[in-house]
Chain A
Amino acid sequence: MDKIRSLADLKKKREELQSALKLREQGENTENLIQVKVAMATCGIAAGAKQVMEVIINECNKRGIQAVVTQTGCMGYCYAEPTVEVKKPGEDPVVFGYITPVKAEELVTKYLLGNELLDGIIPVNYGKVDQ
């Protein structure tokens, strides 16, 4: 095991390890972060939602976007799977349909980073009891 010889060593070590705890630190502060929910019911998974989630997580990490990416159950738009709901702090959630891994990357670069909408937005057609 490499010994730690200086403050610089320690800082390097910390940076390497910090990403492992990022998920937990975000958890303390979910309200102020972008929340991405990937619908991961049978229909979503069959349509490739797992790969989509993978892409979103990797892209966010690569670009340093602070987003909480979780999975959720069936949103009911089975015809448009995989579907992804994005909620930016203080804004209403937007649901995107037909998200392929390629489109998932676009979603991150265009909407999460740039606030530019993509094709395939599904109008929210129901309310939720908790909102």
Chain B
Amino acid sequence: MSNFKYHILVCGGTGCRASHSDQIIANFNQLLADKGLSKDVQVVTTGCFGFCEKGPIVKMLPDNTFYTSVKPEDCREIIEEHIVKGRKVNRLLYLNPETKEHIEDSKHMGFYQKQLRVALRNCGFIDPENIDEYFARDGYAALAQVLEQNDPKATIEIIKKAGLRGRGGAGFPTGLKWELAAKSEGDEKYVVCNADEGDPGAFMDRSILEGDPHTVLEAMAINGFCIGASKGLIYIRAEYPLAIRRLQIAIKQATEYGLLGKNIMGTDFSFTIELKYGAGAFVCGEETALIHSMEGNRGEPTFKPPFPAQQGYLKKPTNVNNVETYANIPVILLKGWEWFSSIGTEKSKGTKVFALAGKINNVGLIEVPMGITLREVIYEIGGGIKDGKKFKAVQTGGPSGGCLTEKFLDTPIDYDSLLAAGSMMGSGGMIVMDEDDCMVSVARFYLDFTVEESCGKCAPCRIGNKRLCEILDKITHGHGTMEDLENLSNLAGVIKDASLCGLGQTSPNPVLSTIDNFWDEYVAHVVDKKCPAGQCKALKRYMIDPDACIGCTACARACPVGAITGEKKMVHEINQETCIKCGACYEKCKFNAIFIK
């Protein structure tokens, strides 16, 4: 039995590692060895805690102290104060921004209070590179149970009754998908895990794979047993090196224990898992494109039917599920469908993981029960808008989703309500915007992304999106007309109706939803040639206030294009024709004499 008196959990997710959490771990181990405490204190590298805003996170147990923004040089103080003297290091505790009080443990932080961790249950709790810790958390028990019962139909029935829907975005019922693949005839079938997470700002799947890789392997094996497949493939983007490494370690460990490979747990069931690396094309998250890419062909979608369940990888029946969907499977089987279906709303059961990003105080990874409102997520978990600015919109569903405004803040988060509000669940990216964000530019940003990522196979998506992007470009440069706005809506509608796959069918959503919700802002750009948020560079005008200018010539000297003229100690002037709107004069002026119009 281990005799550790303290556990120090250090986040080893990509975000915290970028802020030197690996150095923190090394420092802790060194300090403990120096003090002869290595037998008393265990340092554990875990997956993501979710509170990325204040990373690196260090959690001390058993007293559950939560240290934020820890630097490698803080390690000595933590060991000497917390471990040796039993005193908490107050300056590293989370500071409640409202009450200005230190909060000792995560349970009392607003960020964690409304969360319910199902898919992320082991993230930030176990060491992802140690299968023993996964065993201690009921790891592989669901697989063992399923194999022991030896009734694939009954297992699929449980998943169906639980009401689990695909977490990749579209929300197709998972049990039904499995049933279709199970019913398909084929001498060989495949199970594919879609880990091609491509939405800008989304990192749910990466965090699950980095923090709890075994849960995905276990669920894939269960999936294989249920549909009669003996081979699993994980399609993961090569930009996720840490997730790949942890998956490789996990596959090796599971194989050594006989939980993957031939005759698993002494049964006739054999199952192996192989990794396939994607090159980071957004369209390869679409299941038919993903399958083509795995086969070594161009990552282009094809028309459905035939569905992958009938004819997928190598023309064999294939079941494709997303990482987060898989992460829910073992828990459902162990805790029962009744438990799972008691969480969430009528048609959307369970929880959903979101990556909070943008102008929000608590950027990070959260998991909430379905049916929670956007307001709760943004204000209570997310801690509100940065720098006390005003909320403008929240973008859900990535480049395929839409922007939701203040009037939708009380919308419950589930597949159907978000769709009805003009956005979608998507894979879970949630980007918050404040009053300084120009919605036309936001739409243009997403369009830029889709143009880049369109595979080019069908004309509406390839050409249509390019044209949409050009029109938006024209508007943000102040050359737009009312006719352009009309063309935008019409063209968006055509692209939506006529595109081949999900990418094209949803790519105009950011345009349509911003036109719906921010029509005035479009009009301001077109008619008044003004950008209300002051973001569109071409529409900005730098002016000099003659009352405030003392003629110090600082601005004229800073101007790279010589657009500012004026005698010493006389009021200066900016030539709008020559001005390139770089803002250098604005930064330079010490008398607040330069303003933006």
CB–CB B141/A68 < 8 A: no
Q: Is the CB of A27 within 8 A of B61?
A: yes
Which B332-389 residues have a C-beta within 8 angstroms of A?
none
- Which chain B positions have C-beta within 8 A of A37? 86
* Contacts A3-B258, A24-B7, A68-B63 given; does A13 touch B135 at CB 8 Å: yes
Q: Would A6 and B265 count as touching, CB distance under 8 A?
A: yes
What's the A-B contact tally at a CB cutoff of 8 Å?
Answer: 103
Provide the residues of chain B in CB contact with A30, threshold 8 Å.
62-64, 105
Within 8 A of A (CB), among B1-49: 1-7, 9
- Report, nearest first, the 4 A-B pairs whose CB atoms are least far apart: A3-B258, A72-B86, A27-B61, A17-B136
Q: Which of A5, A19, A41, A72 contacts B265 (CB 8 A)?
A: A5
Say whether, besides A14-B141, A57-B5, A4 and B86 are in contact (CB < 8 Å): no
Q: Which of B125-133, B290-298, B303-311, B463-471 contacts A (4 or more CB under 8 A)?
A: B125-133
Write the nearest CB–CB distance from A36 to chain B, whole angstroms. 10
Residues of B close to A28: CB separation below 8 A? 64, 107
Question: For chain B residues 138-175, which have a beta carbon within 8 Å of chain A?
Answer: 138-141, 144-145, 147-148
Whether B257 and A14, one on each chain, are in contact in the complex, defined by CB atoms closer than 8 angstroms, is no
Contacts of A51 in B (CB 8 A): none
Residue A71 CB within 8 A of the other chain: yes
Knowing A4-B259, A20-B133, say if A10 contacts B64 (CB, 8 Å): no
How far, in angstroms, from A24 to B49 measured CA to CA in the complex? 14
> Is A53 in the interface zone, CB < 8 Å from B?
yes
Q: Which residues of B contact A89 (CB under 8 A)?
A: none
CB-CB under 8 A from A115, the residues of chain B are: none
Task: Give A45 Cβ to nearest chain B Cβ, in Å.
Answer: 10
Complex Cα–Cα for A19 and B9 (A)? 16
Known contacts being A6-B266, A40-B85, is A14 close to B5, with CB within 8 Å? no
Contact of B148 among A7, A13, A70 (CB under 8 A): A7
Instruction: Provide the residues of chain A in CB contact with B390, threshold 8 Å.
Output: none
Is B256 an interface residue, CB under 8 A from the partner? Answer: yes
Distance from A47 Cβ to chain B, minimum over Cβ atoms (Å): 16
Nearest to A2 among chain B residues (CB) is B257
**Distance between A31 CB and nearest chain B CB, rounded to angstroms:** 9
B184 to chain A, nearest CB (A): 29
Say which residue of B2, B87, B139, B148 sits within 8 Å of A19 (CB atoms). B2
Chain A min CB distance to B332 (Å): 17
Q: Pick the contact of B132: A11, A20, A73 (CB < 8 A).
A: A20
Q: Tell me if B597 counts as interface (CB < 8 A to partner A).
A: no
- Residues of B within 8 Å of A, CB-based: how many? 40
The 20 sampled A-B contact pairs (Cβ below 8 Å) are A1-B256, A6-B265, A7-B141, A7-B144, A9-B265, A10-B135, A14-B141, A17-B132, A17-B133, A20-B136, A23-B7, A24-B62, A27-B62, A28-B64, A28-B107, A40-B86, A57-B5, A69-B62, A70-B86, A73-B85
Task: Give A contacts to B, CB under 8 Å.
Answer: 1-7, 9-11, 13-14, 17-21, 23-24, 26-28, 30, 37, 40-41, 53-54, 57, 61, 68-73
- Is B457 interfacial (CB-CB < 8 Å)? no
B125: A residues at CB distance < 8 A: 24
| A-facing residues in B89-129 (Cβ within 8 Å) | 105, 107, 125-126
**Assembled-state Cα–Cα distance A96/B133 (Å):** 36
Cβ-neighbour of B135 out of A1, A17, A19, A68 (below 8 A): A17
| Distance to closest chain B CB from A81 (angstroms) | 14
Q: How far is the CA of A126 from the CA of B277 in the complex (A)?
A: 63
Query: Contact partner of A21 among B136, B141, B257, B265, CB < 8 A?
Result: B136
Q: A4-B259, A18-B136 are in contact. List 10 more A-B contacts (CB 8 A).
A: A4-B258, A20-B1, A20-B2, A20-B133, A21-B133, A24-B125, A40-B84, A70-B63, A70-B86, A73-B87
Which residues of chain A have C-beta atoms less than 8 A from B3's C-beta? Answer: 54, 57
- Let me know if B132 and A24 touch, CB within 8 A: no
Q: B137 near A: Cβ within 8 Å?
A: yes
Nearest CB of B to A99, in Å:
16
Q: How far, in Å, is A91 (CB) from chain B's closest CB?
A: 18
Residue of B nearest to A26 (CB): B62
B4 near A23 with CB under 8 A, answer yes
Q: How far is the CB of B424 from chain A (nearest CB, A)?
A: 34
B148→A6 contact, CB < 8 A: yes
Task: Determine if B266 and A10 form an interchain contact, defined as CB atoms under 8 angstroms apart.
Answer: no
Instruction: State how many angstroms separate the Cβ of A24 from the closest Cβ of chain B.
Output: 5
Measured CB to CB, the closest approach of chain B to A18, in angstroms, equals 5
From residue B39, how far is it (CB to closest CB) to chain A in Å? 11
**A2, A5, A20, A54: the one within 8 Å of B266 (CB):** A5
Which residues does chain A contribute within 8 Å of B126, judged by CB atoms?
21
Q: What's the minimum C-beta distance from B313 to chain A, rounded to whole angstroms?
A: 29
Complex CA gap A11/B141 in Å reads 8
Q: Which of B4, B5, B9 has the most CB of A within 10 A?
A: B5
Nearest A residue to B87, CB-CB: A73
- CA of A5 to CA of B266, assembled, Å: 5
A1–B84 Cα distance when bound, in Å, is 37
Chain A residues lying within 8 Å of B105, measured Cβ to Cβ, are 30
A1 to B136, CA, bound (A): 17
Contacts of A3 in B (CB 8 A): 257-258
- Are A5 and B86 in contact, CB atoms less than 8 angstroms apart? no
Q: Name the distance in Å between B237's Cβ and chain A's nearest Cβ.
A: 31
Q: Which residue of A lies closest to B139 (CB)?
A: A14
Chain B residues whose CB sits within 8 angstroms of the CB of A5 once the complex forms? 258, 265-266
Q: How far is the CB of A5 from chain B (nearest CB, A)?
A: 5
A24 and B61 within 8 A (CB)? yes
Are the CB atoms of A71 and B86 closer together than 8 Å? yes
A21–B63 Cα distance when bound, in Å, is 14
Give, as a whole number of angstroms, the nearest-CB distance from A97 to chain B: 17
Residues of B within 8 A of A7 (CB): 141, 144-145, 147-148, 265
In residues 56-77 of chain B, which contact A (Cβ within 8 Å)? 59, 61-64
B-side contacts of A4, CB under 8 Å: 140, 144, 257-259, 265
Which residues of chain A are near B63, meaning CB under 8 Å? 27, 30, 68, 70
